Amino acid sequence: MSMSFFILGKCRRSGGYTAIELIVVTSIIIIISTIVLLGFGVLNDSVALNRSSRDLAVVLRRAQNMALAVTGVSAIGNEVPPAVGIQLTQGASTYLLFADRAGSFRDYKYGASDGEFIQSLRFDRNVIAYQFLDVDGDPISPAEGVLHIIFSAPEADLRITDGNGNGDPEWAKVDIIFRSPSGKTKILTVRESGQISVK
């Protein structure tokens, strides 16, 4: 009789879970979910920074190829511009691809009233062009917070200028620092030799 009671008791217990077991399992699921969600935000920022820096590198190569091709640009009425470049504004999440069509004068800057606009582009997920550094690693404070990276046809010679179209010998190499909303950063380096690299 005692044997049958033990078997019956064992069968009854194995049919369900105790409240403590359910609480432990639920706690483990909550902890794992929290860790995954926190890690996803950090990963998301890294992906946005990588994509933004690589997209800008691709647009710079596109501008360089447009200058090398010496062909008409449809956005400006199939005119062959003497230079093609991008305009970056410090702290902005957008940038412009433009044709520097100031004739043979080439003012080395974007002029909205000159009809130089080709395309407006946006960095991924609120990433911004946070800061510009010169060849010595010192912060650049360009006029109007604007930096132009321009490729002149037909050799695609690279020139880096500020909002007024003025260059500086210290800008032979410029680091563009991208920043995500959480404060993570990524660097894209542009050299006057035409080299573009992402670190």
Nearest-CA neighbor of 98 among 79, 80, 111?
111
Residue 113 confidence (pLDDT): 81
Query: What are 171's two structure tokens?
Result: 């800008």
Residue 112 confidence (pLDDT): 83
Residue 190 confidence (pLDDT): 98
Residue 152 confidence (pLDDT): 92
What DSSP character marks residue 189? E
Residue 13 confidence (pLDDT): 53
| pTM for the predicted model, two decimal places | 0.79
Query: What are 84's two structure tokens?
Result: 């093609």
Nearest-CA neighbor of 88 among 48, 39, 145, 37?
145
| CA distances to 30, 81, 104, 109 from 75, in Å | 53, 11, 20, 17
Residue 194 confidence (pLDDT): 93
Residue 90 confidence (pLDDT): 97
Residue 150 confidence (pLDDT): 96
Residue 104 confidence (pLDDT): 47
Instruction: Spell out the domain ranges in the chain.
Output: 34-198
Residue 15 confidence (pLDDT): 65
Bond preceding residue 181 cis, omega within 30 of 0: no
Fold topology of 34-198: minor pseudopilin epsh fold (3.55.40)
Distance between CA atoms of residues 177 and 186, nearest Å? 6
Residue 170 confidence (pLDDT): 94
Residue 192 confidence (pLDDT): 94
SS3 188: strand
Query: What are 100's two structure tokens?
Result: 């520097």
Distance between CA atoms of residues 178 and 88, nearest Å? 11
SS3 42: helix
Distance between CA atoms of residues 163 and 88, nearest Å? 9
Distance between CA atoms of residues 78 and 172, nearest Å? 31
Q: Which residue has the tokens 């009425």?
A: 77
| pLDDT values of the chain reduced to their tens digit, one per residue, 199 residues | 455 444 445 555 556 788 898 999 999 999 998 888 876 666 788 999 999 999 999 999 999 999 999 788 888 888 888 999 999 999 999 999 999 886 545 688 998 888 899 999 999 989 999 999 999 999 999 999 999 999 998 899 999 999 999 999 999 999 999 999 999 999 999 999 999 999 8
Q: Are 142 and 132 spatial neighbours (Cβ–Cβ below 8 Å)?
A: yes
Beta pairing, strands 94-99 & 83-89: antiparallel
Query: What are 43's two structure tokens?
Result: 């990963």
Distance between CA atoms of residues 133 and 25, nearest Å? 51
